[in-house]
Amino acid sequence: MITKTEMKIAALAGMLLLGSITAHSQSVVQNLTVNLIAYDHVEARQIKITTKELIRYFAQTNVPGARLLLVTPAPNEPGTLGNLNAYLQVVKDGTVIVEVPSPDSFNFYQDFAAIRSSGTHTASRAIDRFSIDFGGLRGELQGFSTWSINGGSGAFVATVNGAIAIDGVTDDWIPAHGTISASAPRPGP
């Protein structure tokens, strides 16, 4: 026969397990910063693509004060390889203005990762790919990323190169290079 105390312990354990599953299934959100230079081969000019321009291409208008967010569903443990299932959001004053879905319009893919842990800190060196096809901008970028991980996800800086095409700006795919970085993660939607 099960006692009341055993039932309470079992109920408490079940609630803790459910809370743990819920906490681990929550997405993380990071501010994404983009700084790219592309080289137009027709007009021999440089085209600067920053976070502000990317937001404008996605929203099809200027959105002063907007932020570009990288939203990554959990669990994406350090060293996860393959599609990270992350997507992008343009957010202003807490309101999502544009969402760039994964995997059709945005894909964040990790090909290789080397992980090193020291105490509570984990560092990763990885080869990451970013594919974008949204709002008149197409891009295929790949590069070396340095991750600083505390907990399940982390901040990163990726030095990338590849090719982009922008409707109304370039006549074809053109070479590009620069950096893509993400701030420390925080709990998301």
Q: What is the pLDDT of residues 52-68, one digit of tens each?
A: 999 999 999 999 999 99
Of 83, 4, 77, 53, the C-alpha closest to 164 is: 53
Chain segment 68-92, per-residue pLDDT in tens: 999 998 876 767 899 999 999 999 9
Cα distances from 101 to residues 20, 22, 50, 157, in angstroms, run 27, 23, 20, 22
* The dihedral sign for the CA sequence 155, 153, 86, 160: positive
Arithmetic mean of pLDDT, 91-114: 95
C-alpha 11/C-alpha 9 separation (Å) is: 5
- In this prediction, residue 8 carries a pLDDT of 36
> In angstroms, rounded to a whole number, what is the distance separating the alpha carbons of residues 115 and 77?
11
Q: Delimit the domains of the chain by residue range.
A: 26-187
